Chain A
Amino acid sequence: IAGITQAPTSQILAAGRRMTLRCTQDMRHNAMYWYRQDLGLGLRLIHYSNTAGTTGKGEVPDGYSVSRANTDDFPLTLASAVPSQTSVYFCASSRDGDYGYTFGSGTRLTVV
């Protein structure tokens, strides 16, 4: 692993189903983030974690939850998917005091 790995790459999900998007980094970055990218809206922050054991809400947190049990992993869970959650999801990380974010390659999620 080099950088950030996201899985799956893409997924088609039935509405109402539960889904967890996985994110793993090997850079020992303390801070991690989840963004969603929608056409014309740019990147919007869903949830973040400044360090292992802590999480916070971003701009569009409703319908999503996260956990940060350790430094490397930051999964994003959709408890009951809805079509409006169709989007491309990006995980990112950064060092303390270093604002340069490193992004994963994204997960394209389609909720039908």
Chain B
Amino acid sequence: GENVEQHPSTLSVQEGDSAVIKCTYSDSASNYFPWYKQELGKGPQLIIDIRSNVGEKKDQRIAVTLNKTAKHFSLHITETQPEDSAVYFCAASGFGNEKLTFGTGTRLTIIP
């Protein structure tokens, strides 16, 4: 089955700087790569996703890049703000009814 590795496990960034979280996956058939943000005491919330036919996708301060050859994808947050502090999870899945496999999460702390 799919295996997703996520790094780093913790990340502290000065407010206004950029943050990058990286994930690798093992199954070359995977074609869907979402990112979730989990705030304290809440369930994960989808913030951005990318499919294998696209190399990059942006949504305001958030972007995701995908390198299918190397089997890795990254989350980029620019101009970080205190409200960006949370745990972020990457995930991957394949065609049809393949289930999402999650990374182990990155705790991002934005330092005011």
A50 neighbours in B (Cβ, 8 Å): 97
Is there an interface contact between B46 and A100, defined as CB atoms closer than 8 Å? yes
Q: Give the complex CA separation of A41 and B9 in angstroms.
A: 11
Q: Which residue of the partner chain A has the closest CB to B44?
A: A103
Main SS of chain A's interface residues? strand
Is there an interface contact between B34 and A99, defined as CB atoms closer than 8 Å? yes
Q: How would residues 43 to 77 of chain B score, 1 for a CB under 8 Å from any chain A CB and 0 otherwise?
A: 11110010000000000000000000000000000
- In this complex, the interface size class of chain A, counting residues with CB under 8 Å from chain B, is 20 to 34
List the interface of chain B (C-beta within 8 A of A): 1, 6, 9, 32, 34, 36, 41-46, 49, 89, 93, 97, 99-105
For this complex, 12 residue pairs linking A to B, each with C-beta atoms less than 8 Å apart, are A35-B102, A40-B104, A42-B102, A42-B103, A42-B104, A43-B44, A45-B100, A59-B1, A92-B43, A99-B93, A102-B46, A103-B36
List the interface of chain A (C-beta within 8 A of B): 4, 31, 33, 35, 40-45, 48, 50, 58-59, 90, 92, 99-106
